[in-house]
Amino acid sequence: MNAKEILDRLVGFPSVVGTPNDGIVAWITDYAERCGAKVTVLPGPEGDRANLFATIGPNHVPGYVLSGHMDVVPALETAWTSDPFRLRADGDRLFGRGTSDMKGFLAALLAALPAIADMPLSRPLHFAFSYDEEAGCRGVPHLIRQLPELCAKPIGAIIGEPSGLRPIRAHKGKAAARVEIRGRSGHSSRPDQGLNAIHGFACVLLAAVRAGDALQSSRLDPCFEPPYSSLQVGTVSGGQAVNIIPDCLTAEIEARAITGVTPSDLLEPVRLAALGLEQRGFQTKWELLSSYPALSLAADAPLATLMEGLTGVETLAAVSYGTEAGLFQAAGIDAIICGPGDIARAHRADEFIRGDELTACQTMIERLAETLRN
């Protein structure tokens, strides 16, 4: 199968983040095994989704990991001009949810697999396909923890997020949390008998705004845009009617951290403000939803030099969005971002990738395999 045919099959699986993914995992497993790869399916603790790890070549010596996620964001945008889970071609453009982010990379990799399997590799290529990346990289930590049982420690990891096939050496880290505040309901005419959860949240919101503002004048890294860490309240939900004292409020907060800053630490002023409400009679619950570290790879690192040679493009210093690359680096494996497509097309209606981008990515992967031949 060529990359376009494989992408057609992958897009046809509505592997939306947070939902079961057994269909796409089974199809990739069958395809990869028929091409000669050794495949291990790694179920996650959720019980209804799994990571997948495949190897071509000897797994007892260090090689490279090609990493991507199988999940996609929901396709709820009303502006779609075709079924988002059915690949549609218009000239060289291939439309569908996940085409750029990032089933296009998976399709190019799988299309290269038969040629790679025919090569006498002295070092292996590993394919690490994860779940629930779009929920804050929740699936890949389980895979990374199992790597010592699956292969020798890899030399490096290439994360195929859409970058126009330009290697990227750094990204910000991220942490997200949910806070729940419970007060006491009642009629709005008797506020003295209730405890307004929304009013209680005001001090938590103020703490978040102040913390976010303070980050703009704290530690800076000019590689990023903006050059500082950030914090925001992203969602707030609470209340039933204007004449009912709201007894419950839920909010979600995220922090994005530059290199050298622990993302979850940025949320600490907000967490402390929420816990402080308990002294006023509120009940609070704080839940860390996800967290992954920043990525920072030196410009002269062997992996950066390798990718410049494979792509013919100079590395880009940094991007502000996050990927699974930081988690590989935290595990002691050099990592870099490089994949087909454009991040600007992701998470929007009529997401697409071009056929020539798939071809270029497949060529890059096959060139990488050539460097590992006997």
pLDDT in tens, 268-323: 999 999 999 999 999 999 999 999 999 999 999 999 999 999 999 999 999 988 99
| Pairing assessment for the beta strands 170-171 and 295-296 based on DSSP bridges | antiparallel
Annotate 189-229 with DSSP letters as a single string. Answer: T-GGGSB-HHHHHHHHHHHHHHHHHHHTTSSB-TTSSSSB-
pLDDT in tens, 197-247: 999 999 999 999 999 999 999 999 999 999 999 999 999 999 999 999 999
| Pairing assessment for the beta strands 125-130 and 64-69 based on DSSP bridges | parallel
Contact 61, 152 (CB under 8 A): yes
What pTM was computed for the model? 0.93
Locate 212 and state its tokens. Answer: 């976010």
Please give the pLDDT value at position 320. Answer: 87
The pLDDT > 90 percentage for the chain reads 99
pLDDT in tens, 62-110: 999 999 999 999 999 999 999 999 999 999 999 999 999 999 999 999 9
Locate 122 and state its tokens. Answer: 């002295």
Please give the pLDDT value at position 237. Answer: 97
What angle in degrees, to the nearest 10, is found between the helix axes of 3-11 and 22-34? 160
Please give the pLDDT value at position 374. Answer: 79
Residue type, 227: P
Backbone angles phi and psi of 219, in degrees to 5:
-60, 135
> For residues 290 and 51, what is the distance between their CA atoms, to the nearest angstrom?
17
Locate 369 and state its tokens. Answer: 């395999």
> For residues 173 and 320, what is the distance between their CA atoms, to the nearest angstrom?
9
pLDDT in tens, 26-70: 999 999 999 999 999 999 999 999 999 999 999 999 999 999 999
**Taking CA 174 as the corner, what is the angle to CA 168 and CA 177, rounded to the nearest 5 degrees?**
160
The pLDDT > 70 percentage for the chain reads 100
Report the Cα 152 to chain-centroid distance in Å.
24
Quote the DSSP letter at residue 254: E
Of 63, 258, 318, 272, the closest CA to residue 177 belongs to 272
